[in-house]
Every structure is written in structure tokens, then in C-alpha cells.
């Protein structure tokens, strides 16, 4: 009887009512915010594609100048099915990774040395400041003279494009070390090597990762320029060859492919940054 009386209390009725009203729809609600974020993420690209197709259907754009998305998608499928696009992508990707890796291997130690030593900074500043503003494409004639028309010249152009973003961000990251940590290390007489490895480098990691992400983006931008050097393969070659044949849809396929590959590599580096810098917090807005 006591249990029955408790069940008839308003609290008991409210509990049973909540249990009865919970249905299959309740389990779907947690997924609604995720679905909304996914839709928001793709909203702008889909809107641009819809507007692009609509302008074509209205006859406001000429196919020779800007073919519709349907024709670009057809060209993408044809090039992928034939294996031509994957072959060009693989070659360009290898060139980008090779040039980017050499740039990172050279820029990271040099950036650390410049940031940590006033002497190295003074010795390299004038030369680097003179060379840094020169765009990679301006080096193409010298690259041909130095390395010929083979792979080395192409990788060299990509190396130049990726080198300076990594170097500048590394130096800035080192120089942004909190002076309170420096003074504390001096008071506690912390060994310099330990201070660099445990304080300076971890503190500079966000800037270093930013430099790597910018560097890989510039490396992809330099692919087209590097593959102008008597290339017979690569996405840049595909774009230039299609331009000469007035195949605008193939040109757009190459451009979109470069954008997609750049986004993929940036996402990989961003994921790596999140794994390495677990203490970092950032403002993302509301």
C-alpha cells in the first residue's frame, strides 16, 4: 500500500509521464545540432554552385568562358575514370610534399637559430629581407639554368614558396616567449638547452604550426608555376594544356582539384596541431 501511495504522488506521476512521453524522436535530437553544423559548412559552396548553374540556364554566361557545374562534373568523372586525373594528382602531390619537406627541414632549424641568437639574426637579416619579397615564379629562369628542366627545378620553386612562411612564423613564435619565463629560468639557473626544449619550443609551437599550414598552401600555389617548366605531367600541366585547347571545364577540374588537395593537407596539419598542442585555447566566436 505504501508503494501505491507513493506512485500516486504528483512527483511519481510526473516521472511516469516523462517516461511515457519519451519516444524515438528524443534520441534524434542530439544529432540535430551536428546536422545543422554540417549543412552550414557546405551551405556557401552549394549556394555558389546553384547560382552558377542558374546563371548558365538563364543564358547569362557563355559555356566557353565558364561551363556549368554539370559539365565540370562530367569532365571530372571522365578524367578520373580514365586514370588521367589521379596520375596527375599523384605526381603533383609528390612534388609538393618533397618541396615542402625540404623547406620545413631548412626553415625550422634556421628559424630557431635566428630567434634564439642575435648574432645569427644580424648575420642573416639583410640577405633574407632582400630575397623574401621575390616571388617564386621570378626564379624560374634561374631554376632552369641551375637544375635544367627536370624534377629538381620544379621542387626548387615549391621549396622557395614554402620556405619563408615557415621561417617567419618560427622566428615570431620564438620571439613571443613570455619574458617572465625567461627571467624565472635565469633566477632558477635552468640549463639553456632544457629551457629551449621545455619552454621556448612548446610556446612557439602554435606559430610554427601556423607557418607549416601557410607553407603547404603556398606550396600548392607554386605547383602551377613549377609545372610550367617543360612539364609533361602534374595538375599544373593539365591546367595549362587544357587552356591551350580551350577546355575550360578541364581547367576548372584542375583548379578545384588543387583546392581540394590543399584543403586535405591543411586538415591533416590542423589535426596534428590539435594533437600536439592540447593546452591551446582559441576564440571561435558564437
Sequential DSSP letters for the chain: -HHHHHHTSHHHHHHHHHHHH--HHHHHTTHHHHHHHHHHHHHHHHHHHHHHHHHHHTT-S-TTTS--HHHHHHHHHHHHHHTHHHHHHHHHHHHHHHHHHHHHHHHHHHHHHHHH-HHHHHHHHHHHHHHTTS-GGGGHHHHHHHHTTSHHHHHHHHHHHHHHHHHHHHHHHHHTS-HHHHHHHHHTT--HHHHIIIIIHHHHHHHHHHHHHHHHHHHHHHHHHHTTTT-SSSHHHHHHHHHHTT-HHHHHHHHHHHHHHHHHHHHHHHHHHHHH-TT-------
Listed by start position, the domains of the chain span: 101-276
Would you state the pLDDT for residue 31? 58
Splitting the chain (286 residues) into consecutive groups of 10 residues, what average pLDDT does each group show? 46 46 52 73 85 84 84 92 92 93 95 90 91 90 87 92 94 81 70 75 86 92 81 87 88 92 90 77 56
CB atoms within 10 A of CB 163: 25
Q: Which of 135, 142, 132 is nearest to 229 (CA)?
A: 142
Full-prediction pTM beyond 0.85?
A: no
Would you state the pLDDT for residue 108? 94
Considering only the top CATH level, what class is 101-276? Answer: mainly alpha
Would you state the pLDDT for residue 281? 60
Would you state the pLDDT for residue 8? 47
Would you state the pLDDT for residue 286? 55
Q: What is the torsional sign of CA 247, 231, 163, 271?
A: positive
Amino acid at each position: 500500500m505504501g508503494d501505491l501511495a507513493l506512485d500516486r504522488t504528483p512527483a511519481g506521476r510526473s516521472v511516469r509521464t516523462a517516461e511515457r512521453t519519451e519516444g524515438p524522436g528524443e534520441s534524434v535530437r542530439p544529432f540535430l545540432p551536428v546536422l545543422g553544423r554540417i549543412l552550414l559548412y557546405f551551405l556557401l559552396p552549394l549556394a555558389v554552385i546553384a547560382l552558377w548553374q542558374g546563371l548558365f540556364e538563364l543564358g547569362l554566361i557563355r559555356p566557353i568562358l565558364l561551363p556549368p557545374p554539370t559539365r565540370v562534373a562530367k569532365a571530372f568523372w571522365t578524367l578520373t575514370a580514365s586514370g588521367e586525373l589521379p596520375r596527375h594528382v599523384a605526381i603533383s602531390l609528390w612534388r609538393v610534399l618533397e618541396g615542402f619537406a625540404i623547406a620545413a627541414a631548412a626553415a625550422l632549424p634556421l628559424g630557431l637559430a635566428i630567434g634564439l641568437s642575435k648574432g645569427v639574426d644580424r648575420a642573416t637579416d639583410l640577405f633574407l629581407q632582400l630575397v623574401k619579397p621575390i616571388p617564386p615564379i621570378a626564379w624560374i629562369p634561374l631554376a632552369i639554368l641551375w637544375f635544367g628542366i627536370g624534377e629538381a627545378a620544379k621542387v626548387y620553386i615549391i621549396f622557395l614558396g614554402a620556405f619563408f612562411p615557415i621561417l617567419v612564423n618560427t622566428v615570431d613564435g620564438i620571439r613571443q616567449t613570455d619574458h617572465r619565463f625567461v627571467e624565472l629560468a635565469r633566477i632558477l639557473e635552468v640549463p639553456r638547452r632544457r629551457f629551449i626544449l621545455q619552454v621556448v619550443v612548446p610556446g612557439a609551437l602554435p606559430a610554427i604550426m601556423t607557418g607549416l599550414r601557410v607553407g603547404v598552401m603556398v606550396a600548392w600555389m607554386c605547383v602551377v608555376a613549377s609545372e610550367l617548366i617543360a612539364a609533361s605531367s602534374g595538375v599544373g600541366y593539365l591546367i595549362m594544356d587544357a587552356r591551350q585547347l580551350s577546355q575550360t571545364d578541364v581547367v576548372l577540374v584542375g583548379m578545384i582539384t588543387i583546392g581540394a588537395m590543399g584543403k586535405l593537407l591543411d586538415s591533416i596539419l590542423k589535426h596534428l596541431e590539435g594533437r600536439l598542442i592540447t593546452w591551446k585555447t582559441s576564440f571561435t566566436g558564437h
